Amino acid sequence: MDVSEAANEAERPRHRPFLIGVSGGTASGKSTVCAKIMELLGQNKVDHRQRKVAIVSQDSFYRVLTPEQKAKALKGQYNFDHPEAFDNKLMYKTLKDIVEGKVVEVPTYDFVTHSRLEDRITVYPADVVLFEGILVFYPQQVRDMFHMKLFVDTDSDVRLSRRVLRDMNRGRDLEQILTQYTTFVKPAFEEFCLPVSMMIITYFHRHQPHCAAHPRHSERRPLQMATRVHERPRAELETGHF
């Protein structure tokens, strides 16, 4: 963002967005759900500076690795699924700035080289901001910021098969992928992700046409996934219809 753009953004009236957290296990379809929400709200073809809906990924906040950690990562021996793998202070500060209606610069992470890139993604003020990731609900300080929490519930075998295909496309061999999954990914999901999901009111069951309430909260109204386009994304989300 250049100086003139920064000046124009500074003149924009700030408003607080509706912040939605989207969590779930590895390869559960979190990004797909976010993209679908953006599409249903008619924002997927809008210029990113004018969008009323923005998507931010927790993956952007992986810590900068030391040379020793990077060497382990390249061998599949580094735990990217542990809460300490993320720069939680930067993540909280960025979300806080987003909630305050500020323009923010989000880091980008390269999963092939396991490094943070110099390029950054500019996130402009929006009516609705979706923040997705495996552990977005684990830090309480971050969890308490969300106005709505969604958990993408996908069969573990489906998730594993997706992860295998994804990581092989990133140049990793099958043995390394499976070892990393059994050593780090699955245990971390069971220890850090799944228990926190029990606090979440709304579950999104993949391969079903709607969001369903958590079985422990069956009296709550499901979040209907209508296919019509709306002009006021925040209003529809706050009422539970979009």
The predicted structure's pLDDT at residue 32: 94
Backbone angles phi, psi at 24, to 5 degrees: 155, 170
Residue 22's domain comprises: 3-239
Specify the range with the lowest mean pLDDT, choosing from 47-51, 80-84, 110-114. Answer: 47-51
Residue 5 banded pLDDT, cuts 50, 70, 90: low
Instruction: Check whether 239 has a pLDDT greater than 70.
Output: no
- Report percent pLDDT > 90 for the chain: 67
Instruction: Check whether 7 has a pLDDT greater than 80.
Output: no
CATH of the domain at 156: 3.40.50.300
Which residues lie below 8 Å from residue 109, measured CB to CB, with a gap of 6+?
A: 59, 60, 61, 62, 115, 116, 117
The predicted structure's pLDDT at residue 211: 44
The predicted structure's pLDDT at residue 49: 82
Instruction: State how far the Cα of 21 lies from the Cα of 34, in Å rounded to an integer.
Output: 10
Per DSSP bridges, beta strands 148-153 and 18-24 are: parallel
Helix (H, G, I), strand (E, B) or coil at 105: strand
Instruction: Check whether 209 has a pLDDT greater than 70.
Output: no
pLDDT in tens, 124-156: 999 999 999 999 999 999 999 999 999 999 999
Instruction: State how far the Cα of 134 lies from the Cα of 174, in Å rounded to an integer.
Output: 22
Count the residues in the chain: 242
User: What is the CA 94 to chain-centroid distance, rounded?
Assistant: 13
Question: Environment class of residue 2 by beta-carbon count within 10 Å: exposed (0-12), middle (13-18) or buried (19+)?
Answer: exposed
pLDDT in tens, 218-238: 333 333 332 233 344 555 555
Residue 16 banded pLDDT, cuts 50, 70, 90: confident
The domain total for the chain is 1
The predicted structure's pLDDT at residue 116: 93
pLDDT in tens, 163-207: 999 999 988 999 999 999 999 999 999 999 999 888 776 766 665
Specify the range with the lowest mean pLDDT, choosing from 52-66, 173-187, 204-218. Answer: 204-218
